[in-house]
A = this chain, B = another copy of it.
Amino acid sequence: MNDLLQKPRKVYVSRTIEFNAAHRLFNPLWTESENFKTYGKCSNKYGHGHNYLLEITIRGFVNNNTGFLFDLKELKNILEEEIIARFDHRHLNHDVPELRECVPTTEVLAVLIWDILEERLLAINNREISLHEVKLYETGKNAVRYLGE
Complex contacts, A9 vs chain B, CB 8 Å: 107, 111, 146, 149
- CB pair B11–A72 under 8 Å, yes or no, is no
Min Cβ gap A63→B in Å is 9
Q: Given A67-B107, A68-B105, A103-B66, are A47 and B47 neighbors across the interface (CB < 8 Å)?
A: yes
This protein's copies in its complex: 6
Chain A stretch 34-49: residues in CB contact (< 8 A) with chain B: 38, 40-42, 44-49
Proximity bits, A116-149, B CB within 8 Å = 1, else 0: 0000000000000000000000011111111101
Q: Given A67-B107, A67-B108, are A14 and B50 neighbors across the interface (CB < 8 Å)?
A: no
Is residue A80 within 8 Å, beta carbon to beta carbon, of the partner chain?
no
Min Cβ gap A22→B in Å is 4
Is residue A90 within 8 Å, beta carbon to beta carbon, of the partner chain?
yes
Task: State the main secondary structure of chain A at its contact with B.
Answer: mixed
- CB pair A139–B38 under 8 Å, yes or no, is no
Interface residues of A (CB under 8 A from B): 1-2, 4-5, 9-18, 20-23, 25, 27, 38, 40-42, 44-51, 57, 62, 65-69, 71-73, 88-91, 93-95, 98-108, 110-112, 115, 139-147, 149
